[in-house]
Amino acid sequence: MKIINMAQLNKTQILQAAQMLTDSIPIGWPTLQDALAEINELLKPENTLLAAVENDIVIGWGGILPMYNGNVFELHPLVVRSDRRRQGVGKAIITALENEARKQGGLTIYAGADDERGNGETSLANVDLFDDLPGKIKNFSPGTHQSGFYLKMGYKIIGVMPDANGIGKPDIY
């Protein structure tokens, strides 16, 4: 597996990246067209998009976008093909993105991880986030949600946006 800049990908590989995005996060990008539009939007010189490529096939990708004059980078998005998850691909991409953010002078990296599927997956879904939020963050449980991955990677919850995706469906920072 190689990690390469997505600006170097050919059309077929960009399609593979887009297909993975709509397959994995259909709430965000319901169609292949939506996912392609997102990638084209993100492919700007100020952003850095990196793809994990194996035998010329894209198996995962992610991006960092500068915020706050480059002191902070937003990690957006991050996706690994469903049949290649839990094999270290996400970790390899996020590590490469962190190194890139560091190289570009970034001090902080953050992601918004929406808890929006079904009836909520984490302990921050369907609760009053205006009541003892520090306590709720301290006792956080990710359940099946991707925030379990970020916690494994050393990320800490710094806050939430209540009802970001409808009542009881927060975005977790």
- Among 6, 18, 64, 79, the residue binding ligand COA under the rule CB under 6 A is 79
Sign, Cα dihedral of 16, 22, 28, 31 = positive
At closest approach, how far in Å is the CB of 131 from ligand COA?
25
CA-CA-CA-CA dihedral for 112, 118, 124, 127, to nearest 10: 130
Q: How far apart are CA 14 and CA 8, in angstroms?
A: 10
Q: How far apart are CA 97 and CA 100, in angstroms?
A: 5
**138 is an interface residue for ligand COA by CB under 6 A:** no
**143 is an interface residue for ligand COA by CB under 6 A:** no
Q: Please check whether residue 67 is in contact with residue 47, taking contact to mean a CB–CB distance below 8 angstroms.
A: no
Stretch that binds ligand COA, among 5-13, 31-39, 66-74, 87-95 (CB under 6 A): 87-95
- Among 9, 25, 36, 160, the residue binding ligand COA under the rule CB under 6 A is 25
SS3 151: helix
CB-wise, 2 or 152, nearer to ligand COA?
Answer: 152
Alpha helices (runs of H) in the chain, residue ranges in sequence order = 11-24, 32-42, 89-103, 133-138, 147-152
**111 is an interface residue for ligand COA by CB under 6 A:** yes
CB-wise, 2 or 132, nearer to ligand COA?
Answer: 2
Backbone angles phi, psi at 117, to 5 degrees: -85, 145
At closest approach, how far in Å is the CB of 167 from ligand COA?
20
**160 is an interface residue for ligand COA by CB under 6 A:** no
Total binding residues for ligand COA by CB under 6 A? 20
Backbone angles phi, psi at 164, to 5 degrees: -60, -30
**49 is an interface residue for ligand COA by CB under 6 A:** no
**109 is an interface residue for ligand COA by CB under 6 A:** no
- By the criterion CB under 6 A, which residues form the site for ligand COA? 24-25, 77-80, 85-91, 111, 113, 142, 146, 148-149, 152
